[in-house]
Amino acid sequence: MTAVENPTAPAHPAAEAAARHLWMHFARSGAYGPDNPVPVITKGEGVRLTDSRGRTILDGLAGLFVVQAGHGRRELAEVAAKQAAELAYFPVWGYTTPPAAALAERLAHLAPGDLNRVFFTSGGGEAVESAWKVAKQYFKLVGKPLKHKVISRSVAYHGTPHGAMAITGLPMMKKDFEPLAPGGFRVPNTNRYRHPEFADDAEGQAAFGRWAADRIEEAILFEGADTVAAVVLEPVQNSGGCLTPPPGYFARVREICDRHDVLLVSDEVICAFGRHGHTFACAKFGYVPDLITCAKGMTSGYGPLGALIASDRVMEPFLRPGVTFPHGYTWGGHPVSAAVALANLDLMEREGLHQRVLDHEQAFGDTLRRLLDLPIVGDVRGDGYFWAVELVKDKNSRETFGADERERLVRGFLPRALLDAGLYCRPDDRGDVVIQLAPPLIAGQAEFDEIETILRHVLVQAEQVV
């Protein structure tokens, strides 16, 4: 646990300003005021944060699955300053800058197969939005104009732009913004914990993988293969709590997409850039997609940047005479962010952060699995430095919590209790109730032990809340 240097200090001016003027993301802005000040984070160093009350907090979520190389990396800040002084901004709308061109070339070399063309965005949701637009226009250009639908998985999150939100499989996130773009359809996800009918042995896991993949083909055939443009999947599904792919799942999905001429999009906004020990997680799970969407860890959070990476096959019709992709973003390929991304990739390679994840992922999972002795912990699952602890009301039946219990637990108790105990992570109930953990890639066993100790302390208290 961490000490509070000055727990009675008055609210930071930023907390007061935020309560009056800042429209916070995914937050109940009206809940903050003098009696419940907005938490203010003032500094980051390595795997730790400091707040305005002087508390030191372990960053168990890498900001938002972003800060791969850790906080306070002065060399990245210096690269940003140097580039800003030389050329702070210019668009890639028919032009380029040296950092944007160099980063596109590097990503093309790092991407699997023939994914050689990079379209820059300023974030992950924009990358997913771009992927759907590419898929639609691609099939029009190759003479299959009816192919426009997208299949994704239930509970999956793919972003907040209207197109990306139509791909997102979370009804409660979409209901206030409907009607959305038509054409998004859902199939079951790979939550093995919620499918106990499949055995835990290798044969049972393979059977579950075949079953889940076959639901994708079933949806393609039901909608009509001549109308489906793309299947959008995360290598490890974020929402719902780090849902890993069963053995053989992606190989079968790739076969299905090829059979029905459907583009396979690997949404790696979270999973890319070392989160699973590879530049792109699709390499770890043994498949080559047609499109990759990525963002977050590309710059370790030292600049906003996202990208869509396309295969030569997808790019070919866009290179024909007279063809334009009428789509773009002001900040896509921003020269400062691109320069920082190049430096971040250098840093990660120099420090062997991918191999560090591969060396430590088993230990991280094993440490979190100690929590399985608690009555409230039903499952621990994940891969790399991306794990979830699923909380349950009844361990034997795997019963989850009701709406009132979720309100008390996920939005009432856990966020503040975890922060007060010295851990920033993510309680989430967009599927079943989970706590998500994704520390910076520089974390090791000492941090894993600290995470487990804090979680244990807070979860014992949580059992009394519900």
**Model confidence over 18-59: pLDDT tens digits?**
999 999 999 998 888 888 899 999 999 999 999 999 999 999
The answer to whether 120 and 332 are in contact (CB under 8 A) is: yes
Q: Give me the percent of the chain exceeding a pLDDT of 70.
A: 98
Q: Could you give the CA distance from residue 201 to residue 102 in angstroms, rounded to a whole number?
A: 46
Q: Using one digit for the tens of pLDDT, what is the confidence trace for 98-107? A: 999 999 999 9
Q: CB count, 10 Å around CB of 31?
A: 11
Copy the structure tokens of residue 414. 């856990």
**Residue 97 CB-half CA count within 13 A:** 21
pLDDT band at 8 (very low <50, low <70, confident <90, very high): low
Beta bridge partners of 149: 228
- Burial class from Cβ neighbours inside 10 Å (0-12, 13-18, 19+) for residue 176 reads exposed
Q: Could you give the CA distance from residue 463 to residue 437 in angstroms, rounded to a whole number?
A: 20
Q: What is the DSSP letter of 397?
A: T
Three-state SS for 48? strand
Say what the pTM is: 0.96
Q: Could you give the CA distance from residue 260 to residue 274 in angstroms, rounded to a whole number?
A: 32
Cβ-proximal residues to 150 (8 Å cutoff; 6+ apart), any chain: 132, 135, 166, 167, 183, 184, 185, 228, 229, 230, 231, 232
pLDDT of residue 1: 45
Q: Could you give the CA distance from residue 146 to residue 229 in angstroms, rounded to a whole number?
A: 9
151 phi/psi in degrees, rounded to 5: -110, 130
